[in-house]
């Protein structure tokens, strides 16, 4: 019995345009194509029949999807870079370290930035730094290319049109100098499934925070940030008020009850604020 | 299975050019084991969790249950059968770093990669890398000793 119970065709385009054209063609032929970057989610969900496709389009050989470096004052992250490659490049530690919260090191040699951002799993740690920095995303699709800040494109999931491909993310290099905290909490030990992740930076206007594993989707909430940045109010009170403004109910599953998650979130937020507020004058 | 879904793959495994007829949907793990008879990479969870199927792909550790065989074309694949008297192999024997032995090839492949790519690895890096592999007999104490021997820390 093969591990993936259905067959599919495999394509390896050399350019973004070729990949999109392939998708359009395969889609028109009813092949239900999927872009394949690290492919770990397609493989593991395909094994249990939760993903079906008759054609995968591997984007790992497309130079644009593999670009990493600085260009015009921004870090460029190709969507097919693995999380290990981004971590080891040490260009932007907030992204490298937060992405290192995904799965384990060997798996991160396969899991890509694009796969983590676009995938179905709700634990998308790598998206948090992009939300905190409102990094522009370059997207290609049948209608051409577009670039827009992630804040306009990510609402619970990345809002892609049919046949659209995430090609790159760009992050302003000045964010690399900002103080940051990235904190992934697990229930049992260092080796365990995630409970929640809080990532935060201290920007000019105040602390920005993004969350994964708190609700059923990763998010950044400017409403919560406004509350948490009122430094004239005691931290405990700010945290309680902010948690009351979460954008959705707290997750309640086998990995942790909603009550337990709320407690862990309170503790993590308290420590995050303490670390980032240290030495900062109250405005 | 439709013929159109079977392809001839040419892979570079343990320094040799090997060919296999397989579906693009077939995993590297299954092609290594079933087409080439290289059963050192073990099917454990088949979900990317346990690390028993770890091989090297262009010198990086990779869980072969998370990789299509067709993806590895053009890259150098190394399985435990491709190692010859590596320090990690000797250390596992000397430190009795196994019980049932099922996880051992995966651990050794990961340690070989660690020692080649991060020879000065600190404790944090060692832990980060080794969290990729699970030993259900819980030989972690002895495995830890073997790793430190390989990295010259003991």
| Average pLDDT of span A134-149 | 98
Mean pLDDT score, A38-52: 96
Of B23, B63, B127, the CB nearest to A106: B63
Indicate the residue of A6, A107, A190 with minimum beta-carbon distance to B132: A107
pLDDT in the model for residue A190: 63
Do B66 and B104 lie in one domain? The reply is no
φ, ψ at A259 (rounded to 5°): -65, -45
CATH of A9-58, one of 1.10.150, 1.10.10, 3.30.1370, 3.30.43: 3.30.43
C-alpha angle with apex B46: B44 to B47, nearest 5 degrees?
A: 120
Based on the domain organization, do B77 and B9 belong to the same domain? Answer: yes
Dist CA A252 CA A180 (whole Å): 28
Tell me what pLDDT residue B153 has.
74
Domain boundary among B56, B81, B106: B81
Q: Residue A194's pLDDT band (boundaries 50, 70, 90)? A: confident
High-pLDDT (> 90) share of chain B, %: 95
Q: Looking at residue B139, which CATH number applies to its domain?
A: 1.10.150.120
Which residues of chain A form CATH 3.30.390.50?
179-276
What is the domain count for chain B?
2
Please, is B127 exposed, middle or buried when counting C-beta atoms within 10 Å of its C-beta (0-12, 13-18, 19+)? middle
Do residue B90 and residue B133 come from a single domain? yes
* pLDDT at residue A3, rounded to an integer: 85
Residue B2 has pLDDT above 60, yes or no: no
Distance from CA of B104 to the nearest CA of A (A): 16
CATH code reported for the domain at A63-175: 3.30.465.10
Looking at chain A, the domain(s) classified CATH 3.30.43 span 9-58
Q: What is the per-residue pLDDT across A142-193, written as a single tens digit (0 to 9) for each?
A: 999 999 999 999 999 999 999 999 999 999 999 999 999 999 998 776 666 6
Q: A166 — phi, psi (to 5°)? A: -75, 120
Any A CB within 8 A of B35 CB: no
B153 reaches A (C-beta below 8 A): no
Last residue of a domain, one of B62, B81, B100: B81
Q: How confident is the model at residue A25 (pLDDT cuts 50, 70, 90)?
A: very high
Residues A179-276: name the CATH superfamily: CO dehydrogenase flavoprotein, C-terminal domain (3.30.390.50)
* Span B66-77, average pLDDT: 98
Structural domain boundaries enclosing B14: 3-81
Residue B43 token pair: 């099917």
Where does the pLDDT of residue A278 fall: very low under 50, low under 70, confident under 90, or very high at 90 and above? Answer: confident
Residue in B7, B26, B60 nearest the CB of A2 = B26
């Amino acid at each position: 019995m093969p591990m993936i119970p259905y067959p599919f065709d495999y394509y390896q385009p050399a350019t973004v345009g070729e990949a999109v054209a392939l998708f359009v063609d395969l889609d028109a032929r009813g092949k239900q194509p999927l872009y394949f970057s690290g492919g770990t989610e397609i493989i593991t969900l395909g094994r249990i029949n939760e993903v079906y496709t008759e054609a995968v389009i591997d984007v790992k050989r497309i130079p644009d999807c593999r670009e990493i470096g600085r260009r015009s004052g921004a870090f460029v992250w190709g969507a097919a870079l693995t999380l290990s490659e981004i971590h080891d490049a040490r260009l932007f530690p907030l992204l490298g370290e937060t992405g290192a919260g995904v799965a384990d090191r060997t798996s991160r040699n396969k899991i890509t930035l694009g796969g983590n951002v676009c995938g179905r799993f709700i634990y998308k740690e790598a998206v948090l730094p992009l939300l905190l920095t409102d990094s522009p995303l370059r997207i290609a699709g049948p209608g051409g290319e577009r670039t827009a800040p992630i804040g306009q494109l990510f609402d619970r999931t990345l809002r892609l049109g049919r046949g659209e491909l995430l090609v790159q993310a760009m992050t302003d290099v000045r964010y690399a100098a900002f103080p940051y905290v990235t904190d992934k909490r697990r229930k049992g030990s260092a080796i365990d499934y995630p409970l929640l992740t809080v990532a935060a930076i201290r920007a000019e206007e105040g602390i920005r925070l993004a969350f994964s594993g708190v609700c059923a989707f990763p998010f950044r909430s400017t409403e919560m940030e406004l509350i948490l940045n009122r430094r004239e109010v005691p931290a405990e009170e700010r945290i309680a008020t902010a948690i009351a403004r979460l954008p959705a109910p707290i997750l309640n599953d086998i990995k942790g009850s909603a009550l337990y998650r709320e407690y862990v979130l309170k503790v993590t937020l308290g420590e995050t604020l303490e670390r980032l507020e240290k030495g900062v004058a109250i405005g | 299975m439709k013929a159109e879904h079977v392809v001839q793959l040419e892979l570079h495994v343990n320094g040799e050019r090997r060919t296999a007829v397989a579906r693009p949907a077939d995993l590297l793990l299954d092609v290594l084991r079933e087409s080439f008879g290289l059963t050192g990479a073990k099917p454990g969870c088949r979900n990317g969790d346990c690390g028993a199927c770890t091989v090297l792909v262009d010198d990086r550790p990779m869980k072969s249950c998370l990789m299509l065989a067709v993806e590895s074309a053009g890259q150098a694949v190394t399985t435990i059968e491709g190692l010859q008297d590596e320090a990690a192999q000797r250390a596992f024997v000397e430190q009795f770093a196994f019980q049932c032995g099922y996880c051992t090839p995966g651990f050794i492949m990961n340690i070989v990669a660690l020692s080649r790519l991060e020879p000065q690895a600190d404790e944090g890096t060692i832990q980060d890398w080794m969290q990729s592999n699970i030993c259900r007999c819980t030989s972690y104490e002895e495995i830890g000793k073997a790793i430190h021997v390989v990295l010259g820390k003991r």
